[in-house]
Structure 1
Amino acid sequence: MPYTHHRSESAPFNDGTGATLRQITQHGSIHHHPFFFVDAWDAAMSFLLLISHRTGSPQIFIEPAPGADLVQLTEEPALAEWSVIPSRDGDWIYFVAGQEGKRVSPRDGRVEVLAHFDSREMREAGMVGAAMGTTALSACGRYWAVPVKSGAVSRFWLVDTETQSAEVFLEAPTIGHPQFCPDDDNLILYAGPMTDRVWVTDRQGNARRIFERAHEMQWITHEVWRPGHRTVLFVDWPNGFGEIDPESGEVRMLTDFPVWHGAPDATGAHLIFDTNFPDRGLHLLSLDGSAPPTPLHRPEASSQGAHWADPFPYNNGPVKVHAPQHTHPHPRFSPDGRKVVFTSDRSGTAQIYELDVKSEKVGHPMRD
């Protein structure tokens, strides 16, 4: 239980456009926030959650208030850095370490073990998709869904955080990027194989496909729930961004702009997204289709992953790619919709930044 304070590294950042930006970390090691579809704050914004490698391995840190000292919460030798997810009430931060599912209190660093997973593999090999090991937490905070690779299958574990019990409720060839519906604690989105991506299941394991590719070169990726709508937003790379109704099966395209990682705000009205090949920076999009995307900021991240520049590469099965996730911006709204957190390795190491999206100067054209 380290609960160690590190001196604040917060400082204003000037990108030359007049946007209000803050650099949160500056230590010369890898930093990132959880992921583009995972909250980086609790609902009350009593802390900002981040991962730092400054102690020699990835560990969970929080910034209790803007500009406050950074607080180290964990000292785990085998923390799965993309598994980290906070509860909305701010009481716990959940994570996988080794073969165990754990949670840590942001108030005092107390760690509890909730589950033991019976797998040596835990995650698929690689850097993308199911290999990242992301997990899902229900809006009520009671149910934590954890995919675990075990031999030829992936097992979907459901941890009841109240009774501290755990069981496997679904087995499938691949289970990646799980997300509880923000409007239904009994509905979970997950990614199947790259050629058959978009699935939902209930907590009883009744899984069903909600989207099927139109042709073998269609690249569907980066699915995320749209809050308040019970629909799924998705990227049709690099042709645009669409929306799926899981109940009716209706699919509609929202824009032909090449969205890369897109995350909606808590109301489901707006989308923040990054871009790649070419990198046009962070953009804001109204999901009602009333206006084209508005450019906000150029993170100048290296956004590694050369395969994104080529046609869909996965038709013959998994391929090895070099795409370290901390080099991607992965922008995410704050719960109040006033800020966006993102990662950039523009300085040579991945650091965390915060952009004020309510600034009156945001939206001016970015300089080339």
Structure 2
Amino acid sequence: MTAMKRYLLAWVCLQLPMMVHAGQPTPTSAAAPLSDAERYARRCQSQSPHRTVKPQGTMLWGTRRDWDVEKVTDERTGVLVSADLAPLRQADAQVKSLSLEGGRLVAAGKGVVGTVLQGTASDGKPVEVAICGAEPSPEDPAMVWYRIEAWNALAQEWENPCVALANVPDPRALAVSGTWNANGAHQKARGKLTFACENGAISKCIQWGYKPWASRDGQSMADLHQACTRMARADYCGNGRSHTHENTTIDMYDRLGVIARTTESSAQWDLSRASFEAAWAPDGATCLSRTRDGRALETVLKECPNRFRAGTALDLGKGDRCTLRRTDVNPESALLRNQSYEASKGTSAQGEGP
């Protein structure tokens, strides 16, 4: 082969990827806007699950961070973080209003499927959310799982806003009273609710038994549920930042006896590998022994200065000993404690999931 032929062949090989890429649509290009009638007509149509190949980090709401999958985003953002019960954006002619009773939405005399609510993203922008299915929980018929779609104004499509994972490829959502802000704090808000997606901490804690609308022995479980959302994400500082990895195994136990400490090893939990991690209150950890993802305790002290102090270890009983303790609360007042496995050497210090 002559030098000229080799040059031409190399040039063609270099140009092919650019020619192929030139024919691909850019992920950030916006589609032409639709009218209200066209938009609502498209809701709740059968769609294949949407997935994202980028790590989602530990999730509070369980929603996608942004419609633009190429955009670098913070773990404390979401395309849908709350919804208004009224006014309804679209509904059956006989559905005039909705109410939230415990773990289910109620429309007088009618079902809620097909209803469109006004929602809000973490950046404060409005986003419509359609209720496309309602499935009572087999374990608790008073609690309903909803299949929802939110209007993606970028793509001009209705899409499931919940993040799909391998074990839950088509996630649903629970309707929970109030809202959660970027710092992970729950806020009571009349007429507002949160669609807590199946793969997020709010929903997981309810599935584990901490239903914020319920009570045990006369005590509300709202604070216990909120403490659980901090624990699930290893949010030690109570600022919405997680310190864990996706699908990390943990064991939890609480003061009300909803979940008891595991005392025997099984295929799911190895007592010989487990040790105390932290004790939890609604606003974060009251004390901790180590981090779940293996980063140094000094990083927690720097992340939330003046919140914890190091010093003499505090014994909480049954082998639970704190290394860092809160300066403003009694660690023994914690509602929830957990054990976990110590992170193996070489584990990344940045958590990528709940």
More helix by share: 2
More strand by share: 1
Bigger Rg over Cα: 2
Scaled by the length of structure 2, what TM-score is found? 0.28
Scaled by the length of structure 1, what TM-score is found? 0.27
